[in-house]
Amino acid sequence: MSYKLDKPYTDIERADFVCLHQGMTPVETDEALYFLEPYEEMQDGAVVDVSETADYIAAVKAQKLATLQADYDTYITKLGQDWAVANAQGNTTVATDIALEMADVLDQYTADKAEIVGGE
């Protein structure tokens, strides 16, 4: 849901409005100052919900996949480092447990990825 502050407005009204809607996308027109949600755009002077468009859905999926991949890479790298240390120390029980956790993480990553992509 977008928010609109009609012109004319005072500097204090504008500052209050901006503070209330931080994190949203500001758009200023000749008539008003708007703050839009991520799924909204200004088109021909009107706020339009684009959440059902193919481009928006693809962009959201791409962002979710990028975040999932980054989280997976970070976690699997840490587990790999832990496994290498345990293996080098000859602690096969810990190394085996870490290897099993890595397999579980891969399974969860695969399931999460399929859920994100599943709507195609």
What is the overall mean pLDDT for the chain? 94
Indicate whether 119 pLDDT > 60.
Answer: no
Record the tokens describing residue 14, joined without a space: 């504008």
Question: What's the one-letter identity of residue 110?
Answer: T
Indicate whether 6 pLDDT > 90.
Answer: yes
List Cα–Cα distances, 11 to 14, 15, 27, 68, in angstroms. Answer: 5, 6, 16, 42
pLDDT in tens, 34-90: 999 999 999 998 999 999 999 999 999 999 999 999 999 999 999 999 999 999 999
CA distance 41 to 53: 12
CA distance 55 to 27: 21
Indicate whether 120 pLDDT > 80.
Answer: no
Q: Residue 118: what pLDDT?
A: 84
Q: In sequence order, what are the beta bridge partners of 95?
A: none
